[in-house]
A and B are shown apart, each in its own frame.
Chain A
């Protein structure tokens, strides 16, 4: 019997824009005409997961091991698309956690739901997440997930220096120094842009993704107490979302170039900027 080693990548579908628009009446995101994409930081997590698998497989000691990469996402049914995209990038399987009961989850409830799903997956040893999402921007799900699973967490990994079936050595760049950590598996790590360059999907990957069946795990499958998930299981609640008002004052300066320069110079001087 081959020993199983599962690398889990947590990904999220986000609107593919940097500036979101909110409907002021319903306080919800305006999604019309906006393409949904994999959270950009999660694409580095996918790539690192696939590279880790390739790294394991290139070691002849692991010839009999059953190594797989599973991508998990929690979200509405259309999040299946990003799981399929993950498969086209080399991930073996995708799982979608989707249920009305999960709606309104904050980072804690999300981490809690993810932890329950991960516990159902055989052989999980390494969990990789993007360091934060484009929409929520909190970067909390990773550490919370590790806390719930009672495993070590290391954020902002820049390089996986060494890995075997028992331990991992990770280097990360802090503001003024590099840090290197050795941790026993299982671990959860988060990654940013400096760890790799995500690959372009392969033709075989795309074909596999097209026919891939993405299982949907609902709350019946996970068996969470309704008090622990979704809005009820969340410690925080979004009371109001609004588009910040940008107040710009525009003044057009006219005249000859010399006059314009003089005007700008005196304006900047008035503002104590020069």
Chain B
């Protein structure tokens, strides 16, 4: 083990590796091809306590830091990014409850999310509001003891599969981003339905659906924090969750690198293994170096967060940006090393390349990450 991991952290890695080897790798190609949600694998992840990691012990969790979540996410991503995305998206759904939820909300929702019995999801994106949060159109109007939600969320990971949704809606449309509030909406609430499952380029086994709110009555106790706090909740959540997207990218890149390395030793051309050619050697060297650099940045960021560093937006954005750009490059190079075989679905690297792409897009596009980094840099310099 190259990093100094505690006994508990090593156990997390071991458990994830077994899940990857025994449960994920044998079925990942079929799940991808047929867009099958990995329900059994997610149940195994739940039984293995991996959803408990970041949730405080008081609510059935294990109270670990983000670093442990990153270790688990990286290892699961080595097996399949759809599984890792499903896992991480539940975390994204419950982080707002951990960070800003009331005591009652925590007691009610966190234990069943910790056990993996239920999944969570994060409902922010809309057809015309992705990077621009202020453009969301879903509204929440207070009516006695309820908020009435109307609108449609788009491309929500775990949509339909999750039981508990953190949904962002405008309680005061005149205030732009400051008029956004966060609500916990349970599956089965009247007026809450799902659109069709999206057919995607990558992470095809993960469930991505619309959330449709049609006069959906949400109890007022389900408002997270106060009205107008939505944007702050989003930013704080992403600060915590972005290193995990970086970890996904590191995991899928590591998998592609391992495949390319193994293949380069058994593929013979001109009577030599292609690993004996400097052109391939240099590609492998660059890939390995970039994977390590990204891993270091992700681990460093996660540890900074866990050590209580407050000002983490810049670092958090960097870890997601660098690791995801790296993953796209490394998985593309892995396909290149496989040559024509890499382009075929008989080998796993084309899927890794398709899967890697999403890490540059979701949880804030890499263009938004650069905005965050640059603005923070210009405003604060080096502190």
In the assembled complex, B19 has its CB within 8 A of some CB on chain A: yes
B50 adjacent to A203 (CB under 8 Å):
yes
B62 adjacent to A200 (CB under 8 Å):
no
For A199, the chain B residues whose CB sits under 8 A away are 44, 47-48
In the assembled complex, A76 has its CB within 8 A of some CB on chain B: no
- Select B47's contact among A202, A206, A207, A210, beta carbons within 8 Å: A202
In the assembled complex, A77 has its CB within 8 A of some CB on chain B: no
In the assembled complex, B15 has its CB within 8 A of some CB on chain A: yes
B19 adjacent to A204 (CB under 8 Å):
no
In the assembled complex, B58 has its CB within 8 A of some CB on chain A: no
Nearest A residue (CB) for B10: A206
Given known A199-B47, A200-B48, A202-B47, contact A207–B15 (CB-CB < 8 A): no
In the assembled complex, A201 has its CB within 8 A of some CB on chain B: yes
Given known A206-B11, A207-B8, contact A200–B49 (CB-CB < 8 A): no
B18 adjacent to A204 (CB under 8 Å):
no
Distance A201 CA – B48 CA, assembled complex (angstroms): 6
Which residues of chain B from 42 to 58 have any CB-CB distance to chain A below 8 Å in the complex? Answer: 44, 47-50, 52-53
Tell me, rounded to whole Å, the shortest Cβ–Cβ distance linking A259 to chain B: 26
For B15, the chain A residues whose CB sits under 8 A away are 200-203, 206
Nearest A residue (CB) for B43: A199
Distance A241 CA – B144 CA, assembled complex (angstroms): 83
Which residues of chain B from 38 to 78 have any CB-CB distance to chain A below 8 Å in the complex? Answer: 44, 47-50, 52-53, 62
Task: Count how many chain B residues have C-beta atoms less than 8 Å from C-beta atoms of the other chain.
Answer: 18
Distance A207 CA – B48 CA, assembled complex (angstroms): 12
In the assembled complex, B309 has its CB within 8 A of some CB on chain A: no
Tell me, rounded to whole Å, the shortest Cβ–Cβ distance linking B9 to chain A: 10
Nearest B residue (CB) for A209: B11
Which residues of chain A from 199 to 257 have any CB-CB distance to chain B below 8 Å in the complex? Answer: 199-207, 210
Nearest B residue (CB) for A204: B49
Which residues of chain A from 30 to 62 have any CB-CB distance to chain B below 8 Å in the complex? Answer: none
Task: Count how many chain A residues have C-beta atoms less than 8 Å from C-beta atoms of the other chain.
Answer: 10
For A207, the chain B residues whose CB sits under 8 A away are 8, 11
B47 adjacent to A203 (CB under 8 Å):
no
A200 adjacent to B44 (CB under 8 Å):
yes
B44 adjacent to A203 (CB under 8 Å):
no
- Select B12's contact among A200, A203, A205, A210, beta carbons within 8 Å: A203
Distance A206 CA – B12 CA, assembled complex (angstroms): 9
Nearest A residue (CB) for B12: A203
Given known A207-B8, A207-B11, contact A202–B49 (CB-CB < 8 A): yes
Tell me, rounded to whole Å, the shortest Cβ–Cβ distance linking A182 to chain B: 30
Distance A201 CA – B50 CA, assembled complex (angstroms): 11
For A203, the chain B residues whose CB sits under 8 A away are 8, 11-12, 15, 48-50, 52-53, 62
In the assembled complex, B22 has its CB within 8 A of some CB on chain A: yes
In the assembled complex, B7 has its CB within 8 A of some CB on chain A: yes
For A200, the chain B residues whose CB sits under 8 A away are 15, 18-19, 22-23, 44, 47-48
Which residues of chain A from 173 to 221 have any CB-CB distance to chain B below 8 Å in the complex? Answer: 199-207, 210
Of B11, B23, B44, chain A has the most CB atoms within 10 Å of the CB of: B11
Per-position binary interface string of chain B over residues 14-30, scored 1 when its CB falls under 8 Å from any chain A CB and 0 otherwise: 11001100110000000
Distance A272 CA – B18 CA, assembled complex (angstroms): 48
Distance A210 CA – B14 CA, assembled complex (angstroms): 14
Nearest A residue (CB) for B48: A202
For B8, the chain A residues whose CB sits under 8 A away are 203, 207
For B19, the chain A residues whose CB sits under 8 A away are 200
Of A199, A200, A206, chain B has the most CB atoms within 10 Å of the CB of: A200
Tell me, rounded to whole Å, the shortest Cβ–Cβ distance linking A250 to chain B: 26
Distance A97 CA – B47 CA, assembled complex (angstroms): 30
For B52, the chain A residues whose CB sits under 8 A away are 203-204
For B22, the chain A residues whose CB sits under 8 A away are 200
For A206, the chain B residues whose CB sits under 8 A away are 11, 14-15
Distance A202 CA – B53 CA, assembled complex (angstroms): 12
Tell me, rounded to whole Å, the shortest Cβ–Cβ distance linking B383 to chain A: 36
Tell me, rounded to whole Å, the shortest Cβ–Cβ distance linking A40 to chain B: 13
For B62, the chain A residues whose CB sits under 8 A away are 203-204
Distance A199 CA – B62 CA, assembled complex (angstroms): 20
Nearest B residue (CB) for A210: B7
Tell me, rounded to whole Å, the shortest Cβ–Cβ distance linking A88 to chain B: 9
Nearest B residue (CB) for A203: B49
Tell me, rounded to whole Å, the shortest Cβ–Cβ distance linking B168 to chain A: 32
Distance A17 CA – B49 CA, assembled complex (angstroms): 30
Distance A202 CA – B114 CA, assembled complex (angstroms): 13
Distance A200 CA – B48 CA, assembled complex (angstroms): 7
Distance A85 CA – B7 CA, assembled complex (angstroms): 16
Distance A207 CA – B62 CA, assembled complex (angstroms): 11
Distance A207 CA – B49 CA, assembled complex (angstroms): 11
Distance A259 CA – B340 CA, assembled complex (angstroms): 34
The 5 closest A-B pairs by CB, nearest first: A203-B49, A202-B49, A206-B11, A200-B18, A202-B48
Q: A199-B44, A200-B19, A203-B52 are in contact. List 13 more A-B contacts (CB 8 A).
A: A199-B48, A200-B22, A200-B47, A200-B48, A201-B18, A202-B15, A202-B47, A203-B8, A203-B11, A203-B12, A203-B49, A204-B49, A206-B15
30 contacts between A and B (CB under 8 A): A200-B15, A200-B18, A200-B19, A200-B22, A200-B23, A200-B44, A200-B47, A200-B48, A201-B15, A201-B18, A202-B15, A202-B47, A202-B48, A202-B49, A203-B8, A203-B11, A203-B12, A203-B15, A203-B48, A203-B49, A203-B50, A203-B52, A203-B53, A203-B62, A204-B49, A205-B49, A206-B11, A206-B15, A207-B8, A210-B7
